C-alpha cells in the first residue's frame, strides 16, 4: 500500500477517498520507481491527498500556485514524474493564469483537478465551476455567473492532453490518470466528484445518472469534435480522453534541456551555510 496510515481529514463520503484509492492503485501497478514521483499540491481539501501517500516525494505549496513549482521541478530534473493534485478553486480560480501558461508551455507534467464544483476547505462558497442559480453560504441569492468550462478552454488553447473522469468509476479513473501520466506533455484530467457537505446539487447520484463514456470509435485527435464534446454538460456529461495533440514539450524545444538531467547533475554549491542555518533553527 502506498497510503501512509495518517488520519484522513475528509468528510465521510467525500469523493477524495475514491480518488486516493485510485492513485494508490495506479502507483502500486506503475512501472515507474516510487522515488521518481513528485506529487505537488496547492491548498484545499483536494490538496491534502499527497499528504496521505508514502514512498513518493511531496511538495505542498500555496493556493493556486502548484503549477509553477511543478513545472520548475520537471525542468530542473527531467527524470521526475510530476503530478499535481488540487481542486477546482485552486486551479481554475486562484491558479487560473498559471493553468493557461502551463497549457501553452507544455511542460511534461500531469494536473489532476478534483472538481466538486464548490470550495470545500473554506466552507462552501461558489467555485469557478459552480452551476448558475446554486445558493451557497456566500451566494445567498444564487450564483449569477456562467460556470467556467475547463475542458473547452483547454481544447481551445490546444492543451496536448485533455480528459475527464468520475470517482464513481474507479477503473476508468485509474486508466485515465495512467494515460495522462504516460502522455509526453502537459496533461489535464478533470475529475468529477461529490462534496457531501457543501454541494447538495451535484451529488454522487446526480453525476452517476449523467456521465457517459466516450464511444470506442471516438477520435481524440479531432479538435473540432473534442471542443464540441467539451461543451456538453447537463443530462449528458462525456468522460474519457477528449483531446490529444502530440506536440513537442517544453523540454524538447529548449536546447538547455535536451540532456534532461544536466541541470541538476552538474549543479554544485557550498551547502555549509545552509546546514549551519538548519542546525541553528533545530
The pLDDT tens digits for 82-139 are 999 999 999 999 888 999 999 999 999 999 999 999 998 888 999 999 999 989 888 9
Residue 1 in any domain: the answer is: no
User: Mapping DSSP to helix (H, G, I), strand (E, B) and coil, where does residue 93 land?
Assistant: helix
User: Residue 84 falls within a domain, yes or no?
Assistant: yes
Contacts with 278 (C-beta within 8 Å, 6 or more apart), sequence order: none
Please tell me the distance from the alpha carbon of residue 195 to that of residue 136, in angstroms, as a whole number. 13
The number of residues making up the chain comes to: 282
Tell me the mean pLDDT in the region 268-282: 72
Is 195 domain-assigned?
Answer: yes
pLDDT tens, position by position, 246-258:
999 998 988 877 7
User: Residue 282: pLDDT above 70?
Assistant: no
- The band of 259, judged by pLDDT with boundaries at 50, 70 and 90, is low
Report the alpha-carbon distance of residue 92 to residue 180 in Å, rounded.
19
In this structure, are residues 18 and 169 in contact, taking their beta carbons and an 8 Å threshold?
no
% of the chain at pLDDT higher than 90: 75
What pLDDT was estimated at residue 269? 61
Decide if 82 is inside a domain: yes
Higher-scoring residue by pLDDT: 271, 280: 280
pLDDT at 261: 53
Handedness of CA 153, 72, 79, 247 (dihedral sign): positive
What domain range is 126 assigned to?
15-281
Amino acid 4: pLDDT: 74
247 is a domain residue: yes
8 Å CB contact between 192 and 166: yes
Distance CA 247, CA 249 (A): 6
What average pLDDT score do residues 177-202 get? 97
pLDDT tens for 5-37 read 788 999 999 999 999 999 999 999 999 988 899
User: Residue 97: what pLDDT?
Assistant: 93
State what percent of residues in the chain have pLDDT above 70.
94
Residue 156 three-state SS = helix
CATH number of 60's domain: 3.40.50.970
Domain assignment of residue 118, yes or no: yes
C-alpha dihedral, 9 to 65 to 40 to 103, nearest 10°: 130
Specify the DSSP class assigned to residue 91: I
> What is residue 52's three-state secondary structure?
helix
Task: State yes or no: pLDDT of 266 exceeds 80.
Answer: no
How many domains does the structure of the chain reveal? 1
pLDDT value at position 264? 53
Kindly report the number of other CB atoms within 10 A of residue 50's CB atom: 23
Q: Does the pLDDT at position 212 exceed 90?
A: yes
The answer to whether the beta carbons of residues 17 and 10 sit under 8 Å apart is yes
Q: 1 falls in which pLDDT band (50, 70, 90)?
A: low
Mean pLDDT of 53-75: 92
Whether 264 is in a domain gets the answer yes
The three-point CA angle 95-100-102 to 5° equals 90
Return the half-sphere exposure (C-beta side, CA atoms, 13 A cut-off) of residue 82. 27
Per the model's pLDDT, the better-predicted residue between 87 and 265 turns out to be 87
139 occurs within a structural domain: yes
What span, in angstroms and rounded, lies between the C-alpha atoms of 102 and 129?
A: 20
Amino acid at each position: 500500500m502506498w497510503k501512509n496510515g495518517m488520519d484522513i481529514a475528509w468528510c465521510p463520503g467525500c469523493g477524495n477517498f475514491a480518488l486516493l484509492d485510485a492513485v494508490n492503485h495506479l502507483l502500486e501497478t506503475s512501472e515507474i520507481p516510487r522515488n521518481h514521483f513528485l506529487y505537488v499540491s496547492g491548498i484545499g481539501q483536494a490538496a491534502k491527498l499527497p499528504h496521505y501517500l508514502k514512498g513518493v516525494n511531496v511538495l505542498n505549496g500555496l493556493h493556486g500556485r502548484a503549477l509553477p513549482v511543478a513545472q520548475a521541478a520537471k525542468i530542473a530534473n527531467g527524470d521526475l514524474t510530476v503530478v499535481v493534485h488540487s481542486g477546482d478553486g485552486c486551479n481554475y480560480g486562484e491558479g487560473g493564469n498559471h493553468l493557461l501558461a502551463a497549457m501553452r508551455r507544455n511542460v511534461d507534467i500531469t494536473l489532476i483537478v478534483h472538481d466538486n464544483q464548490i470550495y470545500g476547505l473554506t466552507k462552501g462558497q461558489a467555485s469557478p465551476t459552480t452551476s448558475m442559480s446554486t445558493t451557497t453560504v456566500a451566494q445567498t441569492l444564487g450564483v449569477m455567473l456562467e460556470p467556467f468550462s475547463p475542458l473547452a478552454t483547454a481544447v481551445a488553447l490546444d492543451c496536448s492532453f485533455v480528459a475527464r473522469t468520475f470517482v464513481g468509476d474507479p477503473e476508468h479513473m485509474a486508466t485515465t490518470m495512467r494515460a495522462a501520466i504516460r502522455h509526453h506533455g502537459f496533461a489535464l484530467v478533470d475529475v468529477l466528484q461529490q462534496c457531501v457537505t457543501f454541494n447538495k446539487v451535484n451529488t454522487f447520484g446526480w453525476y452517476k445518472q449523467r456521465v457517459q463514456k466516450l464511444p470506442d470509435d471516438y477520435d481524440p485527435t479531432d479538435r473540432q469534435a473534442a471542443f464540441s464534446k467539451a461543451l456538453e454538460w447537463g443530462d449528458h456529461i462525456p468522460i474519457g480522453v477528449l483531446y490529444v495533440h502530440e506536440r513537442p514539450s517544453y523540454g524538447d524545444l529548449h536546447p538547455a534541456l535536451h540532456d534532461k538531467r544536466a541541470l541538476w547533475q552538474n549543479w554544485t554549491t557550498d551547502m555549509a551555510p545552509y546546514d549551519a542555518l538548519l542546525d541553528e533553527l533545530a
